[in-house]
Structure 1
């Protein structure tokens, strides 16, 4: 039972450190606009080359760019089209937060938004009345291309995000000097320490859930802001004031989650997690081998040992620990939940573990063809009525770069 307790305590510790990785990952995504970069790459490199080769769109776009554009002017027109699709029309009054990269771009768009911008910018709008069937066929093909690439991009982004998570986990392990083997030995040799960590399982899991929920809340608010931005852009004079007021209020609400002070608090939260682990006198930190900084409590016996230090073995232990941390808090807390259920059963209790959690499909599900047809017809009808269509984000439609 002591070994199971030690294993459970180690898993919970990895989960707590994985929470730090989750925080740092989201911070990196926001500051460097990584989602927006992925979206731009998908539109520019994969979607538009196929879409602009569709005969009806190619002919309409040629009328916009000129019958015989030079390579330079054609590229400029395509860049303008990309910016029209992903550009945030209200960025000048956007959030006051540090941004590196394409900060004036959306980081996710819907199929309806894409089709709406395509109709506006490629010249298809002028052909709806005279060649409606041809425009509809072109938009259906464009929608299928966008939908296919969206799923591939979401899967690619998830794969790369896992890679970044592993890298951040390794960096964290070396910076904080986290040796998983020594942690396990500590929990094995000190059952009371392991039990103290296990007793705090709910608190550690709640901290990870709170971090994840705050990021999801920010994404949901960003989605609402994008919808309001589109409504503000298409509002008539009588609706303009109310639309602007709603947009400003929602931006202020989002700014509270995304301003520099919130980011500093995010970093402070990461430091607090490390401090709480060190306060339990775990072998974590620069007071431990091989850094061996002086400390009044928790001094590492290896630092004063006459034994020849094995730096290579330490390096590989910390490297493996970093890879494990990089799997993330949700993964380890799920493992901890299962281990806790086994522990309860072995102690003669009854497991209260529920079935596996359900969540979002990381690969992204392709939108049903009937849904694509409804959105294509909705866009065409809106433009035929002279209203315009599309929102940057709207529930129930395919999104990219999640």
Structure 2
């Protein structure tokens, strides 16, 4: 039981720290619009590998019919026009059709030329004018409203007629092209999700490494503390419900992220407002990290740096300022790296790193464990809690079983197929 409770307390601590890491990772995703860029990449690959073959014949016929283009230059012209169609396709398919507070970008129902009229974004944090995710049904609905979709609809009709003329089975002769496009987009999305998930996990590990260094997350020392200190175990386990609830709230907030604050307009006031919002987010994330470290350090856990840990780590000071002891706080600061004399207290250290190999290893291990992510540690906390309850003879949480039953029942409801959404959207333009 002691080992199980120590493992549970350790998992709760890792979950709390991983939630701090998630805050920083989320800010990085939003600043660099990584989700929006990922969706645009998938759409571009979808066009190149699947849709281009339906568009090229029409472009080739148009170029051949233009007497102003020499025969030798026709292939180059086809490539140029195809690149333009691709750009317009990606921009219109990924555009948010109802952004709040800003001018919408060119949408699927707009002409391809409208893409060139999109105003440039001088500074955008939330990228509310671009989508961050798209289901196969949403993709087919948008595709049915776009000129590329009309070319695919024509190819679908031709394929249906050819299949019927050849005496194909009824199931094989209906919307084969549309079904192929829909299932390929779904496959593209799944493969891209695996890649983006791995990239996000790598970013999370990098941020976790930085947190482990800054907050002294020594995984081995932390687990040993839980093994020998029953009071620390009990106090941390008491916070299990609050920490798991925080994880659930963060997961729900992430699902609604694309509906939060749209992309900024180009006015200086709004740009300034977004910069201020970003600063507040960073301050909140840093305050959350400091609060978590202080909270667990107050319970007697080896988190945070003190004089003893600094000495044991054999810190190497890389950047500092010198403070005049005769001046008030905030006054008398000299330039970086200046010789402050023999008195250590005269230095205001800004950057210092451990030089002890064992300390580096333990901090590296702590960063790796935190970098496993909140979902991993949430599952670990849930599993260890069930094991602990079973060992004590306590029944599992009835609310958990009820939630699973409701989710299973909801999953039986089938949405409209992507082909149906395409056909409705395409027919509306006729």
TM-score (norm 2): 0.64
Higher relative contact order (CA 8 A, sep 6+): 1
Residue 269 of structure 1 deviates from its aligned partner by 2.8
1:319 corresponds in structure 2 to 364
Asked whether 1:284 is paired with 2:282, we answer no
Q: Structure 1 stretch 325-334 or stretch 368-377: which is displaced more? A: 368-377
- The alignment partner of 1:36 has SS state of helix
Q: Structure 2 vs 1, CA of residues 179 and 117 (structure 1 numbering), >3 Å: closer, same or farther?
A: same
The number of aligned residues is 328
* 1:186 pairs with one of 211, 222, 225: 225
Give me the whole-angstrom Cα distance separating, in 1, the residues matched to 2:97 and 2:181: 23
Structure 2 equivalent of residue 296 of structure 1: none
Residue matched to 1:236: none
- Verify: 1:22 aligned to 2:47, yes or no: no
Report the 3-state secondary structure (helix = DSSP H, G, I; strand = E; otherwise coil) of the residue aligned with 2:300: coil
Following superposition of structure 1 onto structure 2, how do residues 3-402 of structure 1 map, counting pairs within 5 Å?
3-44=3-44, 46-55=45-54, 57-62=55-60, 68=74, 69=77, 71-88=79-96, 93-94=101-102, 99=124, 104-115=129-140, 117-118=142-143, 121-122=146-147, 125=150, 133-134=157-158, 138-219=177-258, 221=259, 259-260=277-278, 261=280, 264-287=283-306, 290-292=309-311, 311-352=356-397, 371-384=417-430
- Please tell me whether Structure 1 or Structure 2 has the larger radius of gyration of its CA atoms: 2
More displaced, 146-155 or 8-17?
146-155
In structure 1, list runs of 5 or more residues that go unmatched: 227-254, 294-308, 360-364, 385-402
The 3 A distance-change label for structure 1 pair 335 and 123 is closer
The whole-number CA distance in structure 2 between the counterparts of 1:371 and 1:181 is 51
| Alignment CA distance shift 1:14-1:371 (3 Å) | same
Shift, 1:156, TM fit: 2.3
Distance 2:155 2:233 in 1: 72
Q: Distance in 2 between matches of 1:81 and 1:37?
A: 14
CA contact (8 A) 1:25 1:165 kept: yes
Distance 1:139 1:7, change over 3 A: closer
Alpha-carbon distance in 1 for matches of 2:144, 2:96: 17
Unaligned runs of 5+ in 2: 66-73, 104-120, 160-174, 264-272, 313-353, 406-410
Q: 1:2 to 1:139 in 2, by over 3 A?
A: closer
The question of whether the paired residues in 1 share the 8 Å contact of 2:205 and 2:371 is answered with: yes
- Aligned partner of residue 305 in structure 2, secondary structure: coil
**Counterpart contact for 2:149–2:426, Cα < 8 Å:** no
Three-state SS of the structure 2 residue aligned to 1:332 is helix
